[in-house]
Amino acid sequence: MSLDFLNPSAPLRDWDNVHVWHPFTPMSAYVRESAPIITGGDGFDLIDSTGRRYLDGISSLWCNVHGHRVPEIDEAVIRQVRDISHSTLLGLSGEPSIRLAKGLVDRAPAGLTRVFYSDSGATTVEVALKMAYQYHRQKPGGPEERDTFLCVGNAYHGDTLGTVSVGGIDLFHRCYRHLLFETVTTPSPVALRIPEGHTHQSWIQHCFDEVSRLVQQHHTRLAGVVMEPIVQGAAGILVHPVGYLKHVRDLCTHYDVPLIADEVAVGFGRTGRLFACEHEEVAPDFLCLAKGITGGYLPLGATLTTDRIFEAFLGEPWEGRTFYHGHTYTGNALGCAAGLASLELFETKNVLANVATCSELISRKLAALNVHPHVAEIRQKGLMVGIELVRDRETLAPFASTIRLGHQVILAARERGVIIRPLGDVIVLMPAPGMPPHHVEHLCDVTIECIDLVTRKVAAGL
């Protein structure tokens, strides 16, 4: 036994390669790549152990909001550390968790008055699924044994088994299928690759009709409808047509099925509104929030729901109607303190106005790729951008997966001091809502340059 791990001149790259198993990362390729070891942050830059700077083009995986080392959030967390870093919410309370609940309820769509904390995006969805399931067994006029959920094709709601059950990304989920519960799946209403016999318009219409048909057919069995409102992130930044969310809300209202809106990715300004549901004036029965909730500082999640759902869990303690669910770090004080500071910054820094400016800038800059021979589609809502690369723009035939084209593009960007991360051959840009326009412009320029360079090289067979 030694204190070797504290050695200031430790061979961190070697230790990383032999000890750290990275998420969503093919490790045999990773250990050959000498990935930067991030040791600092400064505004919208990441700084590695050699002192090199990189623009953080994906908000540190979709969670950073106002940048790194933001004085107001740093201060709020430090103040909280001096009071207390963590105590439990099981039967006790804490000041930051109360204040943040109030701040979230005041800003969320109408009727979402109850806040259940957890510590990640997946847990917020797990909580909503279990609450919805239990609700039908305890609601007035019940019990009803509703036993399944309706979800959208290619959905992503996290990596725990409950959230994988309502997810639909084959590459991530197929291996676990025997461990999952059954769901009803409606096709994702997007139309890059249209099934035989459909036009663009008839396919989208079919998707609207299909969700109507499925909710009507299964509503007595549906404990809830789960969806990522407006944008399906992990599926490749798929942007839903206007009116789809409202359509699903209307169906849920008509057939009395709770709507679970997973705003883990789209929440906190990323689509141009504080919450994506606001685009269609939709109030869901459950609102799942994580990623950006602490400004990207600390792991925290919150599931908001209505009095109607909440009240079905009331009763004398011995009746057993309680929601028996919780995580040790639920509503952590440091996370909530960061969350409060972040909410305040949305107002004092007028973050949503910056999002509007930068979204418009991105559309303008990326228009240069509209005619690129290897760009199939540029999808964008606010600051969420997916650029899908293909071998053949006409047939939409992909590049061979062995090329790892998307990965090559992000390695080229890294050499140019920009950190981005693809989803397969979809290049994702996800600048922080607070990122100033000149950085966003640079992010677009480098992305365009790298896409062009790498696709040329691959097409030339180099």
Ligand X SMILES: *Cc1c(COP(=O)(O)O)cnc(C)c1O
Using CB under 6 A as the criterion, which residues of the chain lie in contact with ligand X when the complex forms? 120-122, 125, 156-158, 228, 233-234, 262, 264-265, 290-291
Q: Which residue is nearest to ligand X (CB)?
A: 121
Helix H, strand E, coil C: the string for 128-194 is: HHHHHHHHHHHCCCCCCCCCEEEEECCCCCCCCHHHHHCCCCHHHHHHHHHHCCCCEEECCCCCCCC
Looking at the Cβ atoms of 226 and 450, the one nearer to ligand X is: 226
Residue with Cβ nearer ligand X (73 or 234) = 234
φ, ψ (nearest 5 deg) of residue 119: -135, 5
* Beta carbon nearer to ligand X, 125 or 389: 125
Residue closer to ligand X by CB (options 122, 383) is 122
Residue 429 CA to residue 447 CA, distance in Å, equals 9
CA distance linking residue 113 with residue 101, whole number of Å: 9
Residue found under tokens 């940048």: 67
CB of 213 vs ligand X, minimal distance in Å: 25
Q: Which is nearer to ligand X, 122 or 429 (CB)?
A: 122
- Rounded to whole angstroms, the Cα distance separating 202 from 210 reads 12
Rounded to the nearest whole angstrom, what is the least distance from the CB of residue 380 to ligand X in the complex?
Answer: 16
Minimum CB distance to ligand X smaller for 236 or for 258: 236
Exposed/middle/buried for residue 2 (C-beta within 10 Å: 0-12, 13-18, 19+): exposed
Spatial separation of the C-alpha atoms in residues 449 and 387, rounded to whole Å = 13
For the bound state, the minimum distance from the C-beta of residue 198 to ligand X, rounded and expressed in Å, comes to 27
Distance CA 118, CA 290 (A): 9
Phi, psi of 322 (to 5 degrees): -60, 155
269 or 450: whose CB is closer to ligand X? 269
Cα–Cα dist 215/272, whole Å: 30
User: Nearest distance from residue 155's CB to ligand X, in Å?
Assistant: 8
Spatial separation of the C-alpha atoms in residues 127 and 323, rounded to whole Å? 9
Contact 416, 49 (CB under 8 A): no
For the CB of residue 238, give the shortest distance to ligand X in the complex, in Å: 11
Least CB distance to ligand X at residue 266 (A)? 7
Angstrom distance (rounded) from CA 120 to CA 115: 14
DSSP β-ladder status, 426-429 and 384-389: antiparallel
Q: Is the Cβ of residue 96 or residue 267 nearer to ligand X in the bound state?
A: 267
* Shortest separation between residue 146's beta carbon and ligand X, angstroms: 22
CB of 301 to ligand X, least distance (A): 7
